[in-house]
């Protein structure tokens, strides 16, 4: 066999391989059903994933749900995946489902170096509220309140545990549940008036740029070691890899970093559509696609990176 024929056969084999991989996905897989809990960081990573997926010929269907309903929806396969499982804060909710294999946990976290614990304005830390054990001493100034986010969120559950078990003499405190946006507005009002407030804080998030804030030390057994260090994981429907292997491979490949997410979150909070912000950011950092698209094709079996790069220019 001459060199020309061998080259042609190799090309044919590669083409057939790609077509075979693509053929494994049913038409229904072209719609990637993803969950959004309403957090800005979730909107950021969903936007990045949506931009890549759309470049590959997929369509994204986003369902905004509370965290417990997201878990149930993934278990029932009404949602294909969720990119924003914070550990250890949400371990009590998600770990039983991971253990009984009613959901699939992507082995590697999609974000490391995150932080999630209680925080205060820095002027309050300067006044002596620096540790979880200090909160009770400021009960009157705080009006006995700790501000959380939406009901069912992992951080809220940890605050409830601290109150229920009277840890750090917090048994008489009240958790104020609302939403991420409402909590940030409450913090902003308190800071304008130089009033004391204890609230859920985390990174990545633009709040770290907007507020002069200090994270509290203590309670590492609840909030994670190193003052609330956290990892963020992806969970998928337990049949997603078999049902939609190419889409699931993309979802499994998605990795983010603090700077990437913070930039996206700022754009979203400035009312820029998440996919538009993601397209602009990825266009400036095309090297990210090497990781995200490893082993992935377009929905119709073509070259993934070429397709996404073309889409980014539209």
Which tens digit of pLDDT belongs to each residue from 239-292?
A: 999 999 999 999 999 999 998 998 899 999 999 999 999 999 999 999 999 999
| Fold matches, 25-112+231-312 and 114-229 | yes
pLDDT at residue 4 is higher than 80? no
pLDDT class for 30, splitting at 50, 70, 90? very high
With cut-offs at 50, 70 and 90, classify the pLDDT of residue 59: very high
| Residue 154 to residue 5: CA distance in whole angstroms | 60
> Residue 5 — pLDDT band, cuts 50, 70, 90?
very low
Alpha carbon distance 59, 215 (integer Å): 39
State residue 18's pLDDT score.
Answer: 41
Query: At residue 94, does pLDDT exceed 70?
Result: yes
Mean pLDDT of 58-70: 96
pLDDT by residue (tens digit) across 120-168? 999 999 999 999 999 999 999 999 999 999 988 889 999 999 999 999 9
Fold of 25-112+231-312: D-Maltodextrin-Binding Protein; domain 2 (3.40.190)
pLDDT band at 225; cut points 50, 70, 90:
confident
Indicate the pLDDT class of residue 21, thresholds 50, 70 and 90.
very low
The secondary structure of 251-277, three-state, reads: HHHCCCCHHHHHHHHHHHHCCCCHHHH
Position 24 scores a pLDDT of 66
Q: Please report the pLDDT score of residue 22 as a whole number.
A: 44
Check residue 314 and give its pLDDT. Answer: 86
Mean of pLDDT over the chain: 92
Beta-strand runs (E) in 140-262? 145-147, 174-176, 199-203, 213-215, 229-237
pTM: 0.78
SS3 102: coil
> Is the Cβ–Cβ distance between 274 and 268 less than 8 Å?
yes
| CATH code of the domain occupying 114-229 | 3.40.190.100
What is the C-alpha separation between 93 and 67, in angstroms, rounded? 9
Domain ranges of the chain: 25-112+231-312, 114-229
In this model, does residue 86 exceed pLDDT 90? yes
- Per-residue confidence at 7, pLDDT binned at 50, 70, 90? very low
């Amino acid at each position: 066999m001459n060199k020309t024929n061998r080259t042609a056969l190799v090309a044919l084999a590669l083409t057939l391989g790609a077509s075979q991989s693509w053929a494994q996905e049913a038409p229904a897989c072209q719609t990637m059903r993803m969950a959004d809990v309403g957090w800005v960081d979730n909107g950021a990573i969903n936007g990045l994933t949506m931009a890549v997926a759309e470049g590959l010929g997929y369509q994204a269907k986003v369902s905004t749900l509370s965290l417990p309903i997201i878990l149930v929806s993934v278990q029932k396969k009404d949602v294909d995946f969720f990119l924003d499982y914070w550990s250890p804060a949400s371990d009590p909710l998600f770990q039983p489902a991971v253990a009984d294999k009613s959901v699939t946990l992507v082995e590697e976290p999609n974000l490391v170096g995150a932080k999630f614990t209680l925080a205060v304005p820095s002027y309050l830390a300067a006044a002596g509220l620096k540790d979880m054990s200090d909160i009770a001493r400021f009960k009157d100034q705080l009006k006995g309140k700790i501000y959380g986010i939406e009901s069912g969120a992992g951080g809220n559950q940890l605050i409830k545990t601290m109150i229920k078990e009277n840890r750090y003499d917090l048994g008489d405190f009240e958790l104020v549940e609302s939403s991420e946006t409402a909590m940030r507005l409450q913090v902003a009002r308190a800071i304008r008036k130089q009033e004391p407030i204890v609230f859920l804080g985390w990174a990545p998030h633009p709040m770290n740029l907007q507020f002069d804030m200090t994270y509290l030390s203590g309670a590492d057994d609840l909030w994670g070691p190193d003052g609330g260090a956290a990892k963020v994981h992806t969970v998928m429907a337990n049949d997603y890899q078999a049902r939609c292997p190419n889409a699931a491979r993309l979802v499994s490949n998605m990795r983010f970093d603090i700077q990437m997410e913070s930039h996206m979150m700022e754009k979203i909070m400035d009312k820029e559509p998440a996919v538009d912000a993601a397209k602009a950011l990825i266009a400036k950092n095309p090297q990210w696609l090497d990781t995200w698209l490893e082993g992935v094709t377009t929905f119709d079996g073509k070259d993934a990176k070429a397709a996404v790069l073309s889409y980014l220019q539209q």
